[in-house]
Amino acid sequence: MTDPTGERISEAEHAVMEALWTRSPLSAGEVADAVMQNRGWSLATVKTLLSRLVAKQAVSTQPQGKRFLYAPRIAREAYLGGESRRLVDRLFGGSAAGLFAHLAEAEALSQADLDRIASLLEELRK
Amino acid sequence: MTDPTGERISEAEHAVMEALWTRSPLSAGEVADAVMQNRGWSLATVKTLLSRLVAKQAVSTQPQGKRFLYAPRIAREAYLGGESRRLVDRLFGGSAAGLFAHLAEAEALSQADLDRIASLLEELRK
DNA sequence: CGTTCATGTTTACAGATGTAGTCGATTACA
DNA sequence: TGTAATCGACTACATCTGTAAACATGAACG
């Protein structure tokens, strides 16, 4: 529902989504400003990405005078969930614990991560 | 190190890698047999994917008579690590705990996941 | 020895992606 | 009111991906 068509959002498009999740609605120019700080894109590129996102129904437009204001149509949470699940399914046979175990073994977990996870766990099991 | 060039492995290519991680070295035909069970690929497709993986230095070849035997050049662990890290970096600002929190909130964690993670945690903090 | 089978190599081709330029309409400023 | 700055739409184009056919060649079999 939050992802009507299930169309995939590409890496570059995702950067644009992040801008819109941070603040919206925004005009194309504003999105470009926000995004150009990290990626070095030209305004033209940002406009293309916005069009594609609109086509994918991931972003909605609302006319303001003669311009458009763009806003996300899919929630960040839903996107994160989809991507996370896809990874867990593809690489760890759907087991989130598998992913966790892997991160643990690879020592990819900081002490802060461990503390935070421990407290979340406690929450969940209470 | 285990990924000399850092060339990305695509989704389809990954399926071939899984076959080789399961058993190797294998001839192209054997890979095709293994992989065709899940994906419905033709032998031609598998051969293309193998070539691309060889080009990407993700798979090595060793001549056997007139044909090649293919084997993974990058360890599965390294691949999983790379992909997991990429996701965590891109979507959760590098915080594995962020990913965990998300999975937890999305109720994407089964009781088994929780138990397993709890015991892993205990291990780690001991 | 000729024919078929398996294989690696080459070529193909449509769709997705990254990155951007051009153009016509509009708006806002001088 | 003329002119420059904006903006959306369209076009461009190289690369990557998914999917596969065609071809050449050597091997195995009859």
Ordered DSSP codes for A14-68? HHHHHHHHHS-SB-HHHHHHHHHTTS---HHHHHHHHHHHHHTTSEEEEEETTEE
Name the residue of chain B whose CA is nearest to A95's CA. B113
Question: pLDDT (tens digit, 9 = 90+) per residue, B48-68?
Answer: 999 999 999 999 999 998 899
Contact between A60 and A66 under an 8 Å Cβ cutoff? The reply is no
Name the residue of chain B whose CA is nearest to A125's CA. B114
Best mutation target among A121, A122, A125, A126 (most B Cβ atoms within 10 Å) is A121
How many Cα atoms occupy the beta-carbon half-sphere of A85 within 13 Å? 12
Question: Are residue A21 and residue A69 in the same domain, yes or no?
Answer: yes
Question: Are residue A52 and residue A14 in the same domain, yes or no?
Answer: yes
In chain A, which residues touch B (CB < 8 A)? 11, 14, 77, 80-81, 83-85, 87-88, 90-92, 95-97, 99-106, 108-110, 112-114, 116-118, 120-121, 124-125
Question: Are residue B26 and residue B42 in the same domain, yes or no?
Answer: yes
Question: Are residue B53 and residue B114 in the same domain, yes or no?
Answer: no
Q: How far apart are CA B18 and CA B88, in angstroms?
A: 22
Question: Are residue B58 and residue B110 in the same domain, yes or no?
Answer: no
Asked if A95 lies within 8 A of B113 by C-beta distance, the reply is: yes
Q: How far apart are CA A60 and CA A27, in angstroms?
A: 12
pTM exceeding 0.85: yes
Option in A87, A105, A116 nearest B87 (CB): A87
Question: From residue A64, how far is each of A20, A58, A67, A106 by CA, in Å?
Answer: 17, 19, 5, 50
Asked if B91 lies within 8 A of A109 by C-beta distance, the reply is: no
Question: pLDDT (tens digit, 9 = 90+) per residue, B93-112?
Answer: 999 999 999 998 887 788 99
Question: Are residue A79 and residue A18 in the same domain, yes or no?
Answer: yes
What percent of chain A is predicted at pLDDT more than 70? 95
The band of A2, judged by pLDDT with boundaries at 50, 70 and 90, is very low
Q: Which residue has the higher pLDDT, A64 or B1?
A: A64
Reply yes or no on whether the pLDDT at B25 is more than 90: yes
State the pLDDT at residue A26: 96
How many Cα atoms occupy the beta-carbon half-sphere of A40 within 13 Å? 0
Question: Are residue A86 and residue A99 in the same domain, yes or no?
Answer: no
The band of B1, judged by pLDDT with boundaries at 50, 70 and 90, is very low
How many Cα atoms occupy the beta-carbon half-sphere of A23 within 13 Å? 9
Q: Which residue range is the domain that position B5 belongs to? A: 1-91
Question: Are residue B59 and residue B9 in the same domain, yes or no?
Answer: yes
Looking up residue A66, the CATH number of its domain turns out to be 1.10.10.10
Rounded CA–C1' distance between B66 and C1, in angstroms: 22
Q: CB of B27 under 7 A from strand D?
A: no
Question: Are residue B121 and residue B74 in the same domain, yes or no?
Answer: no
Q: How far apart are CA A100 and CA A114, in angstroms?
A: 11
In chain B, how many domains are there? 2
Contact between B46 and B28 under an 8 Å Cβ cutoff? The reply is yes
Question: Are residue B73 and residue B18 in the same domain, yes or no?
Answer: yes
